[in-house]
Chains A and B, each alone.
Chain A
Amino acid sequence: MSTSTGAAQNPSSVVASAEQLIDGWELVVGLEVHVELATKTKLFSASANRFGDEPNTHIDPVTLGLPGALPVLNRHAVELAMRLGLALNCRVQPCSFHRKNYFYPDLPKAYQISQYDQPLNVDGFLMLPGEVRIGIERAHLEEDTGKSTHFGGAEGRIHGSEYSLIDFNRAGVPLVEIVSRPDIRTSEQAKQYVSELRAILLAVGASDAKMEEGSMRCDVNVSVHKPGTPFGTRCEIKNVNSIRAVGRAIDYEARRQIDIITSGGSIKQQTLHWDDAAGRTNVLRTKEDADDYRYFLEPDLVPLAPDTAWVEQVRSALPPLPAARRETLAKLTGQSKESEAVAVVVERGQDTYLAEVAKVGGDAARALVYVQQAFAEEAASPRVPAGDLAALTLMEKNAKITATQAKTLLAELVANGGGDVIAMAKSKGFEAMDTSALEGLVDAAIAADPDAWAKFKAGEQKAMGALVGAVMKSSKGKADGKAVTALLQAKANA
């Protein structure tokens, strides 16, 4: 990158808007995201692909790199990788595997089988809110390493440790590395990118994408430069393990680089480690001591060329993707497709359930609020029958119960996994008051607090709260807040 001679050669033509600049500096971010595929077995052997079991229980000669053992490619892994690639609008192409050679104790063969100059998926893109398009350079297949744990040293690093233990359960687990183009211009976009990618992974069933368990891991490339000039030297940040950390690491790194440049220094190409607790990056290694991986074609595998029929079969079996589902849900509920409620419900996969609630006659807008607020712990198919939730939305919509009462009943529905809401409301004594009774209580409240009433009539909206509160109190919570407000307003206007 430092060899670029002009802005025209920058690998991305996306230009930041004025308000996206940081003190006049343009931020350039590219992401490399590794995801573990949700296969039953490993990429090149029949051992189980399972997280969290006793160490070294899912191993075999291939996983351990024993002499004479040969890799055999897992067809399902290829299919999941293709599914992901197609969901990211990539082209699936004939490809091959290479060996990436380096020594490390948790890399049993001393090389990683990966894809190099001919990856499976190329040239895709991912859309962020506001029609922001982030290019996907490639999404390629490779095997994961084992997991080392170092004991007796500082910070759990190998240097200075007394001994290390290795768990090979993870070795050979299929990974897809998704490499974005450097099209991201703000830390917010980077967070949106990871969040959207995660939603797509879950939607197509390619991965469980749990960042906290390491089944989805982000490396972030960050550089800064003045708009219209060549890109700056980039640094790569590793160990960024949550969406929040992605944002924080980029903000920190951008500021660090700008401070260095503006105080007359220059950026060295480095690999950095994000320390989330300290909120800063530390140097892992500089470019000079980077490994020479001596890539060459893996002679133990043959080229992989998915034929058109296979690709089309995978494409046609793709489920609706999050963006389309958000649009559908937004239309159904009358909300913006970029609203948080819509995003959250689609991410949980509960949009199908919501459509069912609407289909049996429920009020979709209210159902959306209920599901967003009360179904966080529920699966994609919540236990509460769609009919029960629909009944609740109608009771509230038709003012049979108040919003507060609806909330109470909703909690009970979720706790019990469903129930007859009409009977539940009755047993709790929940019923909206009729208008004449309510009017009496409102009049009483006005009489009791003439001061507040005068202020309210003079247009002081704050005074309304005291009056509504008094009615709610005297009605023992049965009054509908909206109806009380409406009555007060009508009396003031009379």
Chain B
Amino acid sequence: MAQRRTVVDIAAGVSSGALSASAVLEENLAAIGSREKEIHAFNLVTAERARERAAQIDTDVKAGKKVGRLAGVTIALKDNMCTRGVETTCSSKILAGWKPPYDATVVRRLADEGAVFVGKTNLDEFAMGSSTENSAFGPTRNPLDTSRVPGGSSGGSAAAVAAGFAAASFGSDTGGSIRQPAALCGLVGVKPTYGTVSRQGLIAFGSSLDQIGPFSSTVADSALLMEVIAGHDPLDSTSIPQPAPSLLNVLDQGVKGMRIGRITDMPEGSSPDVLARLEAAFEALRGAGAQIVDVKMPSMSFGLTAYYLVAPAEASSNLARFDGVRYGLRVDAKDLNAMYGATRAAGFGDEVKRRIMLGTYALSAGYYDAYYGKALKVRRLIADDFAKAYESCDAILTPTSPTVAFKFGDKTSNPLAMYLCDVFTIPTNLAGHAAMSVPFGTGEAGLPVGVQVLAPALGEAPMFRVAAELERNA
């Protein structure tokens, strides 16, 4: 596998003139040339745009012009983030060929700091899935073992970094879609506090849960990327009105005196190799001077059920606009209603249809209170449980995924087994808190295991301190 450069090294090297942005890009393009056919991380590789951009940055550096904090950093974007004039499909037939007339706020902020976009990455259609097997354009393979899935829904973004196709990438996390593939591909993946990163230009799945976050090889890389993309955006009403947090400067602070929570009533079903690595992580933090405290999360196991009502309910509304009238796929039929039906039948895959039906049902008159209404109550319970837990600790550790990367087809015939992949990641989204996955050694078949660090809302700084300590001990 190609040697991976870090974001921090590239940015420092390119801006100082020691490293050429074009040379960095060509390394990535060469890796893409040799392995992309097998991996299928991308829906679209924008090599020519990237070459122009990299050349411009090199010219600017030579001319002594000021370049951004991410000068020459190669980045892959999940194909549900709008990129002006560049096809954005959500890995769905219904949006195939659609070119947004605007950039997502995150994309603009990255571009403003000198990032070089390599392409748009594959995902489970509309970010619904945990293996990237639900893409209308075919699955993505895990670069560490191509018989296995990379996780999902941001599987393409995870695979792109793991395979050395880009220095970093971005995904969206509605119930674990960054953290789980990060764990399965041996990467750092961050789900920021809801409202920290603008959702403007992110094609919505579950609007009250979605957040954009980075994939990277190191904790420091994610810290730098977070500093660039976070911070208030007036175009997103749910964006928290405060600047991006300072994270790079907390990485060396260690965890001495920090209180780390261990959930005593954690949902069962994790494999022994994963649980062993979690224990090792607690040991490492204890060794570094942290105090391990027991906390209870009695509502955690209800998270999955609540999530599979809230997210589909919002999705059923968010995806209603794909109706064949204004853009994307249209299948002509005898009248308006028949056109709607034919377009959506042909345009959406099974998992998307399944969730639209679930969500529509949950919101319907006569069922709202029993399903959606109850799910909102569970959501509050989970937030209450977390609030109580954080009275006695600064961060909580759990597995990110119950298992290491699984084989293709293992869970496709059983949607419920697939949904269980997200049992540890979902509660964070329901509470709107921060969480990240950090690689911490290997488990079965030598595959990476990720440990999840949970922190309260706006707890990114303590979360990154813990993550950096784990990385030093991995």
Binding site for B on A (CB under 8 A): 61, 64-73, 99, 101, 103, 105, 108-111, 158-159, 166, 292, 294-296, 299-302
Instruction: From known contacts A105-B325, A111-B320, infer whether A67 and B82 are also in contact, taking CB-CB under 8 Å.
Output: yes
Chain A residue numbers with a CB within 8 Å of B102 are 61, 66, 68-69
Given A67-B100, A67-B203, A101-B317: A300 touches B237 (CB 8 Å cut-off):
yes
A143, chain B: closest CB distance, angstroms: 14
Contact check: which of B81, B235, B320 meets A72 at CB < 8 Å? B235
Residues 66-120 of B at the A interface (beta carbon under 8 Å): 81-82, 88, 90, 95, 98, 100-102, 104
Interface residues of B in 162-217 (CB under 8 A from A): 199-204, 206-208
- Given A61-B101, A68-B100, A70-B236, are A299 and B364 also a contact pair (CB < 8 Å)? no
Specify which chain A residues have a CB less than 8 angstroms from the CB of B326 in the assembled complex: 64-65, 108
Contacts of A72 in B (CB 8 A): 234-235, 237
Question: Do B201 and A109 have beta carbons less than 8 Å apart?
Answer: no
CA–CA, A302 to B240, complex, Å? 11
State A348–B317 Cα separation when bound (angstroms). Answer: 45
Query: B323 an interface residue at 8 Å Cβ cutoff?
Result: yes
CB contact between A108 and one of B82, B208, B321, B340 (< 8 Å): that residue: B321
Contact B323 A70 (CB under 8 A): no
User: Which has the most chain A C-beta neighbours within 10 Å: B313, B317, B372?
Assistant: B317
Give Cα A99–Cα B327 distance, bound, in whole angstroms: 22
Cβ contacts under 8 Å, A299 to chain B: 206-208, 238, 314
Residues of chain B within 8 A (CB-CB) of A111 are 317, 320
What are the 9 tightest A-B residue pairs by CB atom distance, in nearest-first order?
A: A110-B320, A299-B208, A294-B363, A299-B207, A67-B203, A68-B201, A68-B82, A292-B365, A105-B325
Instruction: Say whether B428 faces chain A, with CB atoms less than 8 Å apart.
Output: no
18 residue pairs A–B, Cβ–Cβ below 8 Å = A61-B101, A64-B326, A68-B82, A68-B200, A69-B102, A70-B236, A71-B237, A101-B317, A105-B323, A109-B321, A110-B321, A110-B323, A159-B335, A294-B365, A296-B317, A299-B206, A300-B204, A301-B238
Q: Inside 8 A of A105's CB, which chain B residues have their CB?
A: 323, 325, 336
Q: Are B238 and A300 in contact (CB under 8 A)?
A: yes
Is B28 in the interface zone, CB < 8 Å from A?
no
Q: Which chain A positions have C-beta within 8 A of B81?
A: 68
Are B202 and A294 within 8 A (Cβ)?
Answer: no
Closest to A66 in B: B100
Give the residues in chain B near A67, CB-CB below 8 Å: 82, 88, 90, 95, 98, 100, 203-204, 321
Using CB atoms and an 8 Å cutoff, list the residues of chain B in contact with chain A: 81-82, 88, 90, 95, 98, 100-102, 104, 199-204, 206-208, 234-238, 313-314, 316-317, 320-321, 323, 325-327, 335-336, 340, 360, 363-365, 368, 372
Q: Is the CB of A70 within 8 A of B237?
A: yes
Give complex CA distance A436, B324 in Å: 89
Chain B residues with CB under 8 A of A68 = 81-82, 100, 102, 104, 200-204
Q: Roughly how many angstroms separate A292 CA and B363 CA in the complex, as a whole number?
A: 9
The CA-CA distance from A160 to B314 in the complex, in Å, is: 34
Q: Which residues of A contact B368 (CB under 8 A)?
A: 294, 296
User: Closest CB-CB distance, B325 to chain A, in whole Å?
Assistant: 5
A66 is contacted by which of B101, B199, B323 (Cβ under 8 Å)? B101
Chain B residues touching A, majority SS = loop
A65 to B317, CA, bound (A): 12
Query: What's the Cα separation between A295 and B363 when bound, in Å?
Result: 7
B352 to chain A minimum Cβ distance, whole angstroms, is: 14
Residues of A within 8 A of B238 (CB): 299-302
B374 to A: closest C-beta gap in Å: 13
A108-B318 Cα distance, complex, nearest whole Å: 11
Q: How far is the CB of B272 from chain A (nearest CB, A)?
A: 39
Instruction: Known contacts A68-B201, A71-B237, A301-B237; decide if A294 and B323 are in contact (CB<8 Å).
Output: no
Q: Which residue of A lies closest to B360 (CB)?
A: A294
Q: Give the residue name and chain of the A residue nearest to B98 (CB).
A: A67
Asked whether A158 lies within 8 Å of B336 as measured between CB atoms, the reply is yes
Q: Please name all residues of chain B whose beta carbon is closer than 8 Å to the beta carbon of A166 when the two chains form the complex.
A: 325
Q: Which residues from chain A contact B321 at a C-beta distance below 8 Å? A: 65, 67, 108-110
Residue of A nearest to B207 (CB): A299
Cross-chain contact of A73 among B199, B202, B237, B363 (Cβ < 8 A)? B237
**Distance A61 CA – B99 CA, assembled complex (angstroms):** 12
Question: How near does chain A come to B175, taking the closest CB pair, in angstroms?
Answer: 15
The residue of chain A having its C-beta at the shortest distance from the C-beta of B234 within the complex is: A72
Contact between chains at A292 and B202 (CB < 8 Å)? no
Cross-chain contact of A101 among B320, B327, B336 (Cβ < 8 A): B320
* A292 / chain B contacts, CB cutoff of 8 Å: 364-365
Whole-angstrom CA separation of A166 from B98 in the bound complex: 20
A341 smallest CB distance to B (angstroms): 49
Q: Which of A67, A70, A302 has the most CB of B within 10 A?
A: A67
Q: Smallest Cβ distance from B405 to chain A, in angstroms?
A: 30
Q: How far is the CB of B399 from chain A (nearest CB, A)?
A: 29
Which of B81, B316, B321 has the largest count of A CB atoms less than 10 A from its CB?
Answer: B321
Nearest-neighbour CB distance to chain A for B318, whole angstroms, equals 9
Asked whether A70 lies within 8 Å of B235 as measured between CB atoms, the reply is yes
> With A and B bound together, what is the CA distance between A301 and B195 in angstroms?
12
Chain B's closest residue to A44 (CB) is: B237
Whether A296 contacts B313 by the Cβ 8 Å rule is: yes
User: Nearest Cβ distance between residue A40 and chain B, in whole angstroms?
Assistant: 18
Which of A73, A292, A300: most chain B Cβ within 10 A?
A300
Report A110 CB to chain B, min CB distance, Å. 3
| Bound complex: CA A330 to CA B335 (Å) | 59
Minimum Cβ distance to chain A for residue B269 (Å): 30
Known: A61-B100, A72-B237. 19 other contacts (CB 8 A): A61-B102, A67-B88, A67-B90, A67-B203, A67-B321, A68-B104, A70-B199, A71-B237, A73-B237, A101-B317, A110-B320, A110-B321, A111-B317, A158-B336, A159-B335, A294-B316, A294-B363, A296-B317, A296-B368
In the bound complex, what is the Cα–Cα distance between A273 and B321 (angstroms)?
28
> Cβ of A296: which chain B residues have Cβ within 8 Å of it?
313-314, 317, 363, 368, 372
Bound CA–CA A103/B319 (angstroms): 11
Inter-chain CA distance A110–B98, complex, in Å, is 19
Are B365 and A109 in contact, CB atoms less than 8 angstroms apart? no
Residues in B whose Cβ lies below 8 Å from that of A109? 320-321
Q: Which residues of B contact A71 (CB under 8 A)?
A: 237
In the docked arrangement, what's the CA distance between A492 and B212, Å? 99
Please name all residues of chain B whose beta carbon is closer than 8 Å to the beta carbon of A66 when the two chains form the complex. Answer: 100-102, 327
Contacts of B335 in A (CB 8 A): 159
Minimal beta-carbon separation of B134 from chain A (angstroms): 18
Contacts of B313 in A (CB 8 A): 296
Complexed CA–CA distance, A68 and B106 (Å): 12
Please indicate the chain B residues that have their CB under 8 angstroms from the CB of A110 in the complex: 317, 320-321, 323
Task: Please state if B207 and A300 are interface contacts (CB–CB under 8 Å).
Answer: yes
Q: Give the residues in chain A near B314, CB-CB below 8 Å.
A: 296, 299
Contacts of A159 in B (CB 8 A): 335
Task: Report the nearest A residue to B201, measured CB to CB.
Answer: A68
In the assembled complex, the CB of B257 is this many whole angstroms from the nearest CB of chain A, namely 36
Chain A residue numbers with a CB within 8 Å of B372 are: 296
For B327, give the chain A residue with the smallest CB separation.
Answer: A66
Q: How far is the CA of A68 from the CA of B98 in the complex (A)?
A: 13
Q: Look across to chain B and name the residue whose beta carbon is closest to the beta carbon of A106.
A: B325
CA distance A299 to B195 in the complex (A): 12
Which B-chain residue is minimally distant from A301 (CB atoms)? B237
- A161 → chain B, closest Cβ, in Å? 9
Minimum Cβ distance to chain B for residue A404 (Å): 64
A270 to B88, CA, bound (A): 44
* Cα-based distance from A307 to B238 in the complex (angstroms): 19
Kindly provide the distance from the CB of A146 to the nearest chain B CB, expressed in whole angstroms: 10
Residues on A with C-beta less than 8 A from B200 are 68-70
* Contact flag A294-B101 (CB < 8 Å), given A68-B82, A68-B203: no
Measured between beta carbons, the chain A residues less than 8 angstroms from B203 are 67-68
Question: What B residues does A295 contact at CB under 8 A?
Answer: 363
A429 to chain B, nearest CB (A): 70
Instruction: Considering the complex, give the chain A residue whose CB is closest to the CB of B372.
Output: A296
Residues of the A chain whose Cβ atoms lie less than 8 Å from the Cβ of B234? 72
**Contact indicator A294/B364 (Cβ below 8 Å):** yes
Least Cβ–Cβ distance between B347 and chain A, in angstroms: 13
